[in-house]
Structure 1
Amino acid sequence: MTVLRHTAANLLAVSVPAILMFAAVPAVAQSRPDADPSAHTFTANVSVATEYRYRGLMQTNRRPAIQGGFDYSHASGFYLGNWNSSISWLGDSNAEVSAPVEMDFYGGYKGTFGADWSYDVGVLQYYYPGDYPAGYTRPYTTEVYAGVGYGPVTLKYSYAPTNLFGFADSKNSWYLDLSANVPLNFWDLTLNTHVGYQKVQVANASYVDWKIGVTRDLGKGLSLAVAYIDTNADKTVYTNAKGRYMGRATAWASLTKTF
């Protein structure tokens, strides 16, 4: 059985999440908190990676990926964003499919409480523009998520009311993610650890994935990340039409520029 999914990474296609416009009357603009330019932050990012892995599964058949996106955030905690990546997993699993790009659109609200606690709630839409044969279950997926953090540790739950990444009859699948990003006291390094459980409402499709790695801040908006990634995904489910097991262990690296 060939795999039908996990998220993806070719071309940086895309859309700027939001452009806010303000009233032209100075007196009115000055009286509104959101008229303060310092309350609004726009950023962009672009990355090259040895491959695209999502929740432990390969998305580019062990080939390099180019990725990037845009983010808007408000001082209130509200945010919108778009992220894009080249992918090949859809075509690798079905030769009749041509969908080389993953586009993610998300929005939510995040903030802090107490001394060291944080929270994040929102919705994420995965979109894969392309050509699909008749009767094919589209991989488009919607997830709503809620996360809580304490210091460098975060626990996040994502729930899919839609089918999950092309699996037919997989509504109500979910993913639980426990991660920690701990700053180290040398070489501007951050230790990155993660373990996640993907529940798929399809027989034998659920699995655990994990990662350990480091990120180094190179200055001027550049960062380098390296990691070891692995899963216990069932080979009979997550082997693509080209005969490659999508959940096999790998060493991974990426270089990111943030603007």
Structure 2
Amino acid sequence: MIATRLMTSVPASLAAAILLAAPFSTAFAQEATATLEAPSQTSPHTFTANVSVVSDYRYRGISQTDRRPAIQGGFDYAHASGFYLGNWNSSISWLGDSDASVSAPIEMDFYGGFKNTFQLGGQDFNYDLGVLEYYYPGAYTATRPYTTELYAGIGWGPVFLKYSHAVTNLFGFADSKNSYYVDLSANVPLDVWGLTLNAHVGYQGVQHFSDASYADWKIGLTKDLGQGFSVAVAYIDTNAKQSVYTNTRGRYLGKSTAFVSLTKTF
């Protein structure tokens, strides 16, 4: 999971989308003990973990770390039925950058849902339905940025379209319930040097604050290094307004950037 948050600043609101270059997941299945009477069975339960170092934590195109590196990691459980649960975490600085009295250096995401495949017109499709909670443990003197989103996505081949809908205020924006994010992405294996082409375009709509709405886009490559390691490089940009997405240090958080990450999956 997947991925940078809208930022909130005082007085200018900066709120803290998937990072499209989300950490890869490597499943390790448990096998039942074989006997003479029955063959071994693969467990329906899958547990994975990942850890990444990134040059900048970009969420929906917006830097969460003042355009500086971050360390990230998470854990996932999946059932053969399609049900899944997970937790993903990252170092952040945007809350402290916005208000020096706030101590909240970590983002913790908790999510769960159901994903599966189906056929329509002889074509194979996949879908994903779930809920995601963004949690920021720490001390606050203003509105807490905790955010809950419901999401639904459908994919065909390497292309996936996802819609996320906030059922709470969005990352500290006042009266922003029912904000939304639309994400169109493609991850295309190139069959060259183990590379995958990553492309993404998204739009963040912020309810009752149109100046905070913006589009973001990304183009990049991911390389499988083997042994659970992968590296990703990308170009990320947005059209977010500088008047909204510039923090109290004077740094524009939606500025175009070259991005690189190293991920290890277990």
Shared topology, TM-score over 0.5?
A: yes
1:46 alignment counterpart: 51
1 CA distance for matches of 2:210 and 2:99?
Answer: 20
Query: Could you tell me which of 175, 178, 201 is aligned with 1:172?
Result: 178
2:99 alignment counterpart: 94
1:12 alignment counterpart: none
Letter in structure 1 aligned against 2:243: T
2 CA distance for matches of 1:46 and 1:149?
Answer: 26
Letter in structure 2 aligned against 1:253: V
User: How do 1:61-100 and structure 2 match up within 5 A?
Assistant: 61-100=66-105
2 CA distance for matches of 1:45 and 1:104?
Answer: 14
The reply to whether residue 256 of structure 1 matches residue 266 of structure 2 is: no
The reply to whether residue 58 of structure 1 matches residue 68 of structure 2 is: no
Alpha-carbon contact 2:14-2:246 (below 8 Å) kept:
no
Letter in structure 1 aligned against 2:169: N
1:246 alignment counterpart: 253
2:14 alignment counterpart: 4
Query: Compared with structure 1, are the counterparts of its residues 8 and 228 closer, same or farther at alpha carbon in structure 2 (3 Å cutoff)?
Result: closer
* Structure 2: 5+ residue stretches without partners: 1-10, 20-40
2 CA distance for matches of 1:240 and 1:96?
Answer: 15
Alpha-carbon contact 1:88-1:100 (below 8 Å) kept:
yes
Alpha-carbon contact 1:2-1:236 (below 8 Å) kept:
yes
Other structure's SS at 1:92 match:
helix
2:201 alignment counterpart: 195
- The two structures have a TM-score, normalised by structure 1, of 0.87
2:214 alignment counterpart: 207
2 CA distance for matches of 1:40 and 1:204?
Answer: 45
**Which consecutive segments of 4 or more residues in structure 1 shift more than 3 A?**
none
Q: Residue 111 of structure 1: CA displacement?
A: 0.3
Other structure's SS at 2:95 match:
helix
1:30 alignment counterpart: none
2 CA distance for matches of 1:5 and 1:203?
Answer: 13
RMSD across aligned positions (CA): 1.5
Q: Residue 116 of structure 1: CA displacement?
A: 2.2
Alpha-carbon contact 1:8-1:87 (below 8 Å) kept:
no
2:23 alignment counterpart: none
2 CA distance for matches of 1:229 and 1:143?
Answer: 23
2 CA distance for matches of 1:68 and 1:234?
Answer: 30
1:184 alignment counterpart: 190
